[in-house]
Copies of this chain bind each other. A is one copy, B any other.
């Protein structure tokens, strides 16, 4: 820690105070697997008893998926300068197919490491990287195809199940039949199912061997829908401490993976701080950094520079790389008549390179070389949609779909190397054209996981694109997209601040959960059921705590009814104390139950008598006990 100067040290110390407090009403739990070091983190939300008036029963705690890592665990002390505990290190080492290098393999990495001018921003507790032994393939897909269930696979099986086996209450378990559009939804996830899905390429488990701090998670349409949050300092804004804080903030609210899209001057050092402190997989777009190495001149990019960048980042522990290898020379002119041309940064870099050289995209021509690097560190491909539509008008056009077909070809090549692969998708797409995207992706890419940005369902709402896109995200998630890349309210306008990140994540947690409900994921409705029961019973605090954002729910409530007493009140702010529909409903329920009015036949008999009774009892909801 002595290498960290006081300014950065102070900033990173502050993190723990602001964004690491436990989430209200809940606690971190760990479910142990077949060996003691498989300790799967979850969040358990406590519930209070049902008020006596409503029946007085106990309400079981609700377990929810929790990507927030040790930051929300009061038992763990956080030291950002040391990084998180390397929970996977022993598993990686035990496989015996990797070696610890004597130094960094990338030229760029070595140069940065010895540059005294970078001492003030360098991560102080760097360990030496690992790489596959010569000839070895260390991907989860490789293990899966050889029939090996890794501890990582077991971890995600436990994680996906969310202790659903403990939920025995029939009302909590009740769920509508889903429509899964051909997905293979399981009643319970077994480690063997995880292995099989990874082996088939229908799911990815992105965990670089140099990122042993990460808690394993899985991306595939037969698992819970995941979301990604982007962070990244640009030339215009943001520093290292701010980016690490954004990471912690993003996972606090539910980011399942985080992409570091930094383009600024300490991109290498920022990334190191992020990866070392990330309990979630980190994705990057290596071409951004490669471009900086050639001073922003796309035409000066070379395979050698790009290759060095891949190795640099792979040895830092980046878990997945967005690679725009499908931007083929022949597709580029297809974008010329678009309204918004090429809006993907990576796509436009490669398009410029292709035009300048009139050669095929070097990411495409070197694709098997890239596979060799990916399998030496277990980096997952996120095959970039460099030609995604940037507006409604350009949706589902020849350029976009041509590239998707090429991504399908590349998927098969990656799979030949047992390299895990997911496919990035659009973008801006009107609702009636969304399903065509999903169906074509499944067909072309052999069911490799789809990872989409939105899509935004209209262009006309700058400032609200988290909403225009949450609509499309929920739909495409339902249709089968495995991970949804968030969009913040600042999309198209500026860089997101902390509240924008939170708003973007919330919109996407909603979209992902709505998709899980619609697909019929077992247990997806438990949290809805628990929250709605709490709402009905005026258990305000339980309602807040079961929600995606307890802090906001409570603060909104307090704006109208600030007194603590109101949180125990059996009315809500919408109708005031004198009239409340839930109050009346409770009346209906008690009455119907007491009188045995369960069927319309029963109603037909004795109406007048019952009416008289009801009025004689005061026609009131709450009778003195």
Contact = CB atoms under 8 A, between A and B. Distances in A.
Contacts of A176: 392, 395-396, 430, 432-433
A467 B339 contact: no
Contacts of A509: 461
Contacts of A395: 176
A592 B553 CA distance: 52
A393 interface: yes
Interface in A333-362: 333, 335-336, 339-345, 347-349, 351-352, 355-359
A593 B336 contact: yes
Nearest to A347: B581
A532 to B, nearest CB: 3
Interface string A584-605: 1111110111000111101100
A111 interface: no
A429 to B, nearest CB: 9
A406 to B, nearest CB: 13
Interface stretch (A75-83, A141-149, A155-163, A521-529): A521-529
Interface in A378-423: 390-393, 395-396
Contacts of A560: 236-237, 490, 493-495
Given A348-B581, A553-B493, A179 B475 contact: no
A461 B431 contact: no
Contacts of A577: 235-236
Contact of A548 (B179, B342, B344, B464): B464
A470 interface: yes
Nearest to A598: B333
A610 interface: yes
Interface string A467-509: 1101100110010000000000110111101000000001101
A101 interface: no
A611 B573 CA distance: 68
A393 B463 contact: no
Given A536-B339, A582-B341, A603-B329, A588 B296 contact: no
A557 B491 CA distance: 10
Nearest to A392: B528
The number of chain A residues touching the other chain, given as a range, is 35 or more
Contacts of A573: 234, 236-237, 493-495
A576 interface: yes
B556 A494 contact: yes
Contact of A462 (B177, B339, B525, B553): B553
Q: Which of A342, A432, A525, A577 has the most CB of B within 10 A?
A: A432
A478 B345 contact: no
B461 A547 contact: yes
Taking the full assembly, how many copies of this chain does it contain?
Answer: 2
B553 A463 contact: yes
A352 B597 contact: no
A592 B334 CA distance: 9
A21 interface: no
Contacts of A345: 575, 579, 581
A544 interface: yes
A333 B603 contact: yes
B610 A358 contact: yes
A198 interface: no
A299 B356 contact: no
A28 interface: no
A535 interface: yes
A345 B582 CA distance: 8
A343 B493 contact: no
Nearest to A615: B356
Given A299-B619, A355-B591, A573-B493, A514 B458 contact: yes
B517 A457 contact: yes
A574 interface: yes
A235 B578 contact: yes
A174 interface: yes
A318 to B, nearest CB: 20
B513 A588 contact: no
A536 B389 CA distance: 12
A464 B510 contact: yes
Contacts of A588: 332, 335-336, 341-342, 348, 351-352, 355
10 contacts: A176-B430, A330-B603, A333-B603, A340-B532, A352-B587, A391-B532, A393-B528, A464-B506, A468-B510, A495-B573
Closest 8 CB pairs of A and B: A341-B585, A494-B560, A235-B576, A391-B532, A358-B607, A348-B584, A431-B518, A336-B592
Given A234-B574, A299-B615, A489-B556, 16 more contacts: A235-B576, A235-B579, A236-B573, A335-B589, A336-B598, A341-B536, A345-B579, A348-B581, A352-B587, A356-B611, A356-B619, A392-B517, A460-B510, A471-B510, A494-B557, A495-B573
